[in-house]
Amino acid sequence: MADLRTSLAGIESPNPFWLASAPPTNSGYQVQRAFEAGWGGAVWKTLGEPILNVTSRFAAVSFNGQRVAGFNNIELITDRPLEVNLKEIYETKKRFPNHAVVASLMVEPKQEKWHEIVKKVEEVGVDGLELNFGCPHGMAERGMGSASGQVPELVEKQTYWAKEAAQTPVIVKLTPNITDITSTAEAAVRGGADAVSMINTINSLAGVDLDSWNTIPHVGGKGAHGGYCGPAVKPIALNMVGECARHPRINVPISGMGGVSNWQNAVEFMLMGASNVQVCTAAMHHGFRIVEDMIDGMNNYLDEKGIASVRDLVGQSVPKYSDWGNLDLNYKIVARINNDVCINCNKCHIACEDTSHQCIDMLQDGHGNAYLEVREEDCVGCNLCSIVCPVDGAIDMVEIESEHPPMTWNERQAILSGVQDGKANTVK
């Protein structure tokens, strides 16, 4: 059995699976049951300024039979008194001393407010703090959450204020509602963050009802934008984690979240630079016990790969993630159709003919049987045919040896800039 223990900026946890700050971590009852089920850590539902919630709060986007492909909410932070939460945090930490209990915090962007709340939560024994600069609705209108989190100077300043009072590690949770998340991640690092976490939810409207014309969800006929999460946001979150992980000045650990639903997703986030993962939607959809599969799956994966510790996964794919200009223009793959597996549905032909490079021919053999064949010289290796193909193994994308060694766009432009004014004379 592999060693699943992790450490995020010194916050120790028996495994890399934490519950994200959200309804699953609303109370001591829930967090303790989650720890019993196997979760390694929990970021408590955000504590902060008094709020009131509305009903309804959630909506799901179903896609092709998947009930919760995406999840949308207009819920705010905790609506319970701070003292009640602190008492339950204390009791939880006492019962589970080896599990990670992190307090998520959101107050107005004022130094004394940050000092006050940091001191209060640290008194009850939390292992760390997560500053919620990400909530996209409700709190943002009051200058908190993503309204703070979109302005690098405010991220830096508030991180600094939290750090002034903090004894435990400070994680800064970032909003994805920004063009370049590395600018706010860097601001957090400048403010002294011990770690960053991402992503919070993405501004969204789940839908509009075709009969009532109400938004989904709506509150008595009125709607407001919410925050999107769940499987649909995973690619966005993974990119943001990767962009931060490969950024030279963001040199703090990352806690990754956004659509993590199983152990495979967790491995991806860790390979892309996350030291652990946080989960919300998948737990809300399937319950706390999904963590059993996550733990088993991760253990088996590591054992099969001969990897002793889950920590050895962290960042392994980061050097493989670069800018487009550094990709090899001479690398070439083409599609090959396996006619013994192909069911002749022609989806690849239609996709290629209508929307790609018209290189899949519909042919007939000597017995009049239809078959499909790729004209490899015209294939640009875009993958579309294999993406739309409904049968596993019917289309392989195979590598074709290039007649030239690697050359990137950046290298090409550099060499061309030398022959733009007619000065150079390099090829004979």
Partner 1 sequence: MTEYAEYVLEKEQIDLMLEKGYAIKEVKENLSGAFVTFEKGKDDSDILHIKTADGRKYFSNLLFHQK
Q: Is 135 a catalytic residue?
A: yes
| Amino acid occupying residue 131 | L
- Interaction of residue 144 with ligand FMN, rule CB under 6 A: no
Segment 356-385, which members bind partner 1 (CB under 8 A)? 357, 375, 377-378
Query: What is the end-to-end Cα distance of the chain in Å, rounded?
Result: 61
Give the phi and the psi of residue 163 in degrees, each rounded to 5: -65, -30
Closer residue to partner 1 in complex, CB, 64/425: 425
Closer residue to partner 1 in complex, CB, 12/376: 376
CB count in 10 Å sphere of residue 67: 10
Closer residue to ligand FMN in complex, CB, 47/379: 47
- Interaction of residue 259 with ligand FMN, rule CB under 6 A: yes
- How far apart CA 8 and CA 171 sit, in angstroms, is 9
Contact between 374 and 340 (Cβ < 8 Å): no
* Contact characters 323-362, ligand FMN, x per CB under 6 A: ----------------------------------------
CB of 409 to partner 1, least distance (A): 9
- How far apart CA 255 and CA 319 sit, in angstroms, is 19
- Interaction of residue 22 with ligand FMN, rule CB under 6 A: yes
Q: Which residue has the tokens 């909003």?
A: 175
Segment lying near ligand FMN (by CB under 6 A), choices 216-224, 226-234, 304-312, 378-386: 226-234
Contact between 47 and 27 (Cβ < 8 Å): no
- Interaction of residue 17 with ligand FMN, rule CB under 6 A: no
DSSP sequence for 217-269: S-BTTB---EEEESGGGHHHHHHHHHHHHT-TT--S-EEEESS--SHHHHHHH
CB of 333 to ligand FMN, least distance (A): 32
CA distances from 320 to 116, 242, 277, 330, 417 (A): 43, 10, 21, 17, 27
Q: Please identify which residue in 13, 15, 21, 386 interacts with ligand FMN, judged by CB under 6 A.
A: 21
- How far apart CA 192 and CA 348 sit, in angstroms, is 52
Closer residue to ligand FMN in complex, CB, 97/235: 235
CA distances from 186 to 26, 155, 176, 240, 248 (A): 30, 9, 14, 13, 10
CA distances from 324 to 72, 327, 328, 410 (A): 32, 6, 9, 9
Q: How far, rounded to the nearest angstrom, does the alpha carbon of residue 295 sit from its chain's CA centroid?
A: 19
Segment lying near partner 1 (by CB under 8 A), choices 57-65, 124-132, 155-163, 411-419: 411-419
Residue 21, contacted partner among partner 1, ligand FMN, none, CB below 5-8 A by kind: ligand FMN
How many residues touch partner 1 under the rule CB under 8 A: the total is 22
Closer residue to partner 1 in complex, CB, 62/383: 383
Contact between 168 and 127 (Cβ < 8 Å): yes
* Contact characters 224-263, partner 1, x per CB under 8 A: ----------------------------------------
Segment lying near ligand FMN (by CB under 6 A), choices 255-263, 314-322, 343-351, 415-423: 255-263
Instruction: Please give the structure tokens belonging to residue 176.
Output: 């994805």
Residue 23, contacted partner among partner 1, ligand FMN, none, CB below 5-8 A by kind: ligand FMN
Q: Please identify which residue in 62, 330, 355, 383 interacts with partner 1, judged by CB under 8 A.
A: 330
> Which residues are near partner 1 by CB under 8 A?
329-330, 357, 375, 377-378, 404-405, 407, 411-412, 415-416, 419-422, 424-428
The residues annotated with a catalytic role in the active site are: 135
Question: Interface with ligand FMN by CB under 6 A: which residues?
Answer: 20-23, 45-46, 71, 73, 75, 77, 104, 132, 134-135, 173, 200-201, 229-230, 233, 257-260, 279-282
